[in-house]
Amino acid sequence: MSARTWLITGCSSGLGRALASTVLSTGDNVVATARDAGAVRDLGGLALSLDVTVPEQVRAAVAAAESEFGGVDVLVNNAGYSYRAATEEGDDADVRRLFDTNYFGAVDLVRAVLPGMRARRSGAVVAISSIATRAGLPGGGYYAATKAAVDAMMSSLRAEVAPLGITAMTVVPGAFRTDFAGRSLVQAPREIADYAATAGLRRKENDTSHGTQPGDPARAAAAILATLGSAEPPAVLVLGADARGLAERDLDSRRELLRVAERYSTEF
C-alpha cells in the first residue's frame, strides 16, 4: 500500500503535533503546518508556515503538498483556539477573528483539497471539533458556535462526497493535555459583574486545569489513525470518557426536551 499524504494544520503543539508525529512513524507523508514553520521543522516531513485566515496561504500550502507528494490524501483541520466571554461581553473583532480561524479557515482548506480528491475518487477530510458544542458551558458560547458551524458543514459535506469515495469525519475530543487552556485560550477584555458567577468562573485566571486534563494527545492521535484505517470510519469520533459522558447527557436532554414539547410541536 502506497504512502498517503496528510496535510495537518496547527501542528506546533497538542493534538496536531501528536498526530503528525504518529502519522510519520507509520511511513506516511505529512505536510505539517503552523503559523511559523520553524515550530514544526523538528517533526520531519514538509514543514510549512500557514495562517489559515489568509486564503492565499491556504492555496499555497495545498499547492506545495501537491507539488511535493502528488496530492493530499487526508486533510486534518486542527488549527484553532478557544475564546471565553459571556455573550454580552464578546468583542466584535475578536469574535470575527475566532470564526475566521476556527470555521472559515477550515472551509477554505476543504475547498482547496477537494478538487484533487474528487479527481482521484479518494481521500479523507477530518475536522477537530469539541465536546463544547454539546455542553452548553457558560462563557464558551462563541467558541462552541464556531465548532458547531464546523460540525454542520461536515455533516453536509459527508453526504456530498460519500458517493465520490471521500470520507468526512468529525472528531469530538474532551479535555486533553494540549494548549487549549493555555496559550490557545483568549478571553474577552470586558468583564460584566453580573456574570461573575457564571461565565466569570471560567475565565483563564480561574482555570486550574491546564496541563492536568485526563486526555493524552498521543493516544487520541493513535485512535484517529486507527479509525481512518478501518473499513467504515464513523461519521463522528468521540474521544475521552468525559466527552462520551457529556455526549450521552446531551442526547438524554434533547430527548427530554422533545418529550416536554411534544404536544406543542405536533398540534399543527
Q: What's the chain's average pLDDT?
A: 90
Hey, which residues does 8 pair with through a beta bridge?
32, 76
86-90 long-range Cβ contacts below 8 angstroms, 24+ apart: 86/138, 86/139, 86/141, 86/188, 86/192, 86/195, 86/198, 86/199, 86/200, 87/141, 87/142, 88/192, 88/195, 89/188, 89/190, 89/191, 89/192, 89/195, 89/199, 90/142, 90/188
CA distance from start to end of the chain = 57
State pLDDT tens for residues 51-95.
Answer: 999 999 999 999 999 999 999 999 999 999 999 999 999 999 999
Count of positions (residues) in the chain: 268
Note the pLDDT of residue 233: 93
Question: Which residues are annotated as catalytic?
Answer: 129, 143, 147
Q: What is the pLDDT of residue 180?
A: 53
Give the type of residue at 36: D
Name the grid cell of 140: 464558551
Output the pTM of the full model.
0.89
Task: For residue 99, give the H/E element and its range.
Answer: helix 92-99
What does the alpha-carbon distance between residue 176 and residue 160 come to, in Å, rounded to a whole number?
Answer: 31
pLDDT of residue 212: 47
Q: Which residues lie closer than 8 Å to 82 by C-beta, 6 or more apart?
A: 140, 143, 180, 181, 184, 185, 186
Tell me phi and psi for residue 48, to 5 degrees.
-130, 145
Residues of the chain with pLDDT under 70: 1, 176-184, 204-215, 266-268
